[in-house]
Amino acid sequence: MSTEVRVPTLGESVTEATVATWFKQPGDAVAVDEMLCELETDKVTVEVPSPVAGTLSEIVAAEGDTVGVDALLAQIAEGDAAPAPAKADAGAPATKEAPAEAPAPAAAKDVEDAPSAKKLMAENNLTDVTGTGKDGRVMKEDVLNALASPAPAPAAAPRAPVAADQAAREERVKMTRLRQTIAKRLKDSQNTAAMLTTYNEVDMTEVMALRNEYKDLFLKKHGVKLGFMSFFTKACVHALREVPEVNAEIDGTDIVYKNYVNMGIAAGTPTGLVVPVINDADAMSFAAIEKAIAEKGAKARDGKLSMAEMQGGTFTISNGGVYGSLMSSPILNPPQSGILGMHKIQERPMAINGQVVIRPMMYLALSYDHRIVDGKGAVTFLVRVKEALEDPRRLLMDL
């Protein structure tokens, strides 16, 4: 008996994925729920487990293929019937025949443009769009790019010629879907928002003293380490209440104000930047925030974040300081209107009450959408964050 392995539901608004890696090959024995392959979508990596025990008899979608929801990925021969396909696959004639048959339908399918792309092309009277999909297949993103940047864009970026001896030392690697999405979203953010960045600095003396005093007790009681992110999250929530436009977004000609804070925490992973979201951070304690950050961070590193866990953010914090960044301008995470950049804590001489003292200082950067956030609001936001961190007691008294 043969069982089909199909593409699972990929998440809200995600209709396609790329087959990234096959962990099993035809002829291999598989157990129930054993991972067969990994699919890469615009946002997350999806593992596909085996629905039954048996032998993988055929791989229909090869690595690099683009597949839609419910598309056929492979066939599994169940139970006692499993050894037969394994022997057939192991023989020389069979291994030559299987690949010979598989590419034919795949090639025919790949050259056909994505249905969403064809619909967009028809609606906008486009006939000549360069496809970036497999074998030149036109994807929805290709049509959107063509609409956003008409004629000049394709001819604008020819690759500089490379000497023959240097070309041999280069390596060309296709961008992952996640990296393509990161690139597109960041560029879209720059093209759409009137983005501006304002800076300030914060003396971290009081936060560091408070953290050092209570970190052992905090860990003992709550089972999680007390870090700086919970202080910054609380300080941002405090500031967002006073400057709500930084927590808002533009929808057409409307401004949508959010009476809640879903805090995005940017996290670097081996495959690229992701932004898991902590929902209702404004209603959470220090311990709850630290637990949520630890949980989402671990999932991000392991590639286990779901699509739902990266949606719905209203504001974002990005901590480049963990990599040693002293100063940078973060890029907005659309449709959000604000993002706070944290940086490295560095001891610097500061003039305080007429004396030069050494203090642990951090530069802060707030990038904001100037279409709805005025300069006064942006500066006020950063000042409130600075005040709350330099005197954490203000958070307790809502000052």
374 catalytically annotated? yes
Q: Are 126 and 134 in contact (CB under 8 A)?
A: no
Rg over CA atoms, the chain:
26
Q: For residue 22, list its beta bridge partners.
A: 37
**Cα–Cα distances in Å, from 155 out to 150, 159, 351?**
11, 10, 54
Q: Which helix (H) or strand (E) holds 183?
A: helix 177-192
- Tell how strand 315-319 and strand 338-342 pair up: parallel
Q: Is 316 exposed, middle or buried (0-12, 13-18, 19+ CB in 10 A)?
A: buried
Q: Which of 251, 374, 391, 398 is catalytic?
A: 374
Beta strands in the chain (DSSP E): 2-6, 16-22, 29-30, 35-40, 45-49, 54-59, 66-68, 72-78, 195-203, 249-251, 254-256, 263-265, 267-269, 272-274, 277-278, 315-319, 338-342, 346-352, 355-369
Residue 370 annotated to the active site: yes
Could you give the 3-state DSSP secondary structure of residue 11? Answer: coil
Which CA distances in Å does 63 have to 37, 91, 189?
Answer: 9, 23, 31
Cα-flanking dihedrals φ and ψ of residue 206, to 5°? Answer: -70, -40
- Number of Cβ within a 10 Å radius of residue 190: 11
Q: How far apart are CA 118 and CA 154, in angstroms?
A: 20
- Among 280, 370, 391, 398, the one annotated catalytic: 370
Catalytic residues: 370, 374
